[in-house]
Amino acid sequence: MRVQLKGKPTWKQLFLGLAGANGILFILFFVLLLWPVSETEIPEKAFIEEEPGAEFTVTSSKQNLNELVNEYVDKFMKDQSDKYTVDFGGENVRLLGSIEAFQTDIPFSITLEPAVQENGDLVLYTSDMSLGLLQLPEKKILEYVKKELATPDWVNIDPSNQSIYIGVTQMDVKSNFKVKVQSFDLKNDQITFRIKVPNKTLGL
């Protein structure tokens, strides 16, 4: 009886095996990328005027807002803080960062136009998006960023409407202060907030 031993795989077999593995990973990446996300639930709008208290107007600059927001991002994201940056330097808001897919960081950039809501919340409407060199619909880019980017409860990424809802009035602020946006004009560097100090906070 003659036993036939298998020899070492040839370079063609190794090449085809590697190409096949890469092809499978590539397909899996796009399946995950194009998989639909759950519908975004926009929070009910809160109106800080409904609670009795004193109101004050606070004016900020783009530079101060940059420092404040990115400091918050650093604390919220912790070990991923170096992956995400919010930039208020131009006429619009820019969200910059990278998402990881198969041990590779893919950079993304989203340009957003701010719109103040009647209750003082802020909606950022996307005007330009990119995800590395991938040619994808903007809705799909925002869906993938939503999957990968952790956000606080009062921030909602809405791929269907290509927007990000910032529930400023629902932020948890120390001393129970309430905040709303009064104006958000980045072009002219005119940013103002209304701060409400509830009477109960002062013991009234």
CA distance to 49, 105, 142, per residue, from 33 (Å): 42, 14, 10
The pTM of the full predicted model, rounded to 2 decimals, is 0.72
Residue 11 has what pLDDT?
Answer: 55
Residue 172 has what pLDDT?
Answer: 76
pLDDT mean values, one per 10 residues, the chain (204 residues): 51 52 46 47 56 79 90 78 82 88 80 93 92 79 84 89 91 77 92 81 52
How many separate helices (H) and strands (E) can be counted in the chain?
3, 9
Angstrom distance (rounded) from CA 175 to CA 153: 19
Residue 32 has what pLDDT?
Answer: 45
Residue 136 has what pLDDT?
Answer: 76
- Predicted confidence (pLDDT) per residue in 138-166, tens digit: 888 888 888 888 888 889 999 989 999 99
Angstrom distance (rounded) from CA 160 to CA 139: 7
